[in-house]
Amino acid sequence: MGWDTGPGNMLIDLAVQKFSNGEKNYDKNGEWAAQGNPYLELIEKWLKHDFFQQPPPKSTGRELFGADYLEQCWQDAQKYNLSETDFLATITDLTAASIAHNYQQFIKHPIDEILLCGGGSLNLYLKKRIQAHFPGSTAVRTTDEVGMNSDFKEAIAFAILAYWRYVSKLPGNLPQVTGAKQERLLGDIHYPL
């Protein structure tokens, strides 16, 4: 199983860029958001977005959760006089809540462990908020904590896909994840003429 659960750290990064006038690209360690308080009423409202209700397989990006969506959220927050810091805490908790929402809606068995990777895994406040949305028996850790450097995640994934294609002759797609009609061998090697 695999699918996008929501905006990831996209909205967090966009909000930081907006509030720092482009001087910062992300909330280092989640320190900015950690100073604020998430506004739960807005999170509940934003979780009603069609994407969060859609069953997997599904994927998203800036087309749904980009600058325009951030502006809509900021306008909502202004109705409640949220500070930039409280807004950042709220948008960070939206990401955490969207992950929890997807697990609760679409995975019907208990989850022992959640592994975080990528830039968002460095956001300690986001990690804390994800943990808050899951029972204490669910461990939330980074791939770095289990011995896989998240900086190498994509390189490792492409090496595995190449191995499957050329050595094992295994398909590299999962129709239940991608929505493809059937499994396929992926990729090809082209040598210079």
pLDDT value of position 118: 87
pLDDT value of position 129: 98
Question: CA 177, CA 15: separation in Å to the nearest integer?
Answer: 30
Question: pTM for the full model?
Answer: 0.86
Contact 97, 40 (CB under 8 A): no
Q: What would you measure as the largest C-alpha separation in the chain, in angstroms?
A: 64
- Give 32: exposed, middle or buried? Use CB within 10 Å, 0-12, 13-18, 19+: buried
Listed as ranges, residues in the chain with pLDDT below 70 are 1
163: helix, strand or coil: helix
Contact 106, 96 (CB under 8 A): no
pLDDT value of position 157: 85
Question: CA 12, CA 32: separation in Å to the nearest integer?
Answer: 10
Contact 138, 114 (CB under 8 A): yes
Question: CA 118, CA 71: separation in Å to the nearest integer?
Answer: 25
139: helix, strand or coil: strand
Which of these, 153, 18, 135, 25, lies nearest to 87 by C-alpha position?
18
Complete DSSP assignment for 164-180 = IIIII------HHHH--
DSSP state of 48: T
* pLDDT tens column, 116-150: 998 899 999 999 999 999 988 999 999 999 998 88
pLDDT value of position 32: 99
User: What domains sit in the chain, N to C, each tagged with a CATH number?
Assistant: 10-148 (3.30.420.40), 152-193 (no CATH)
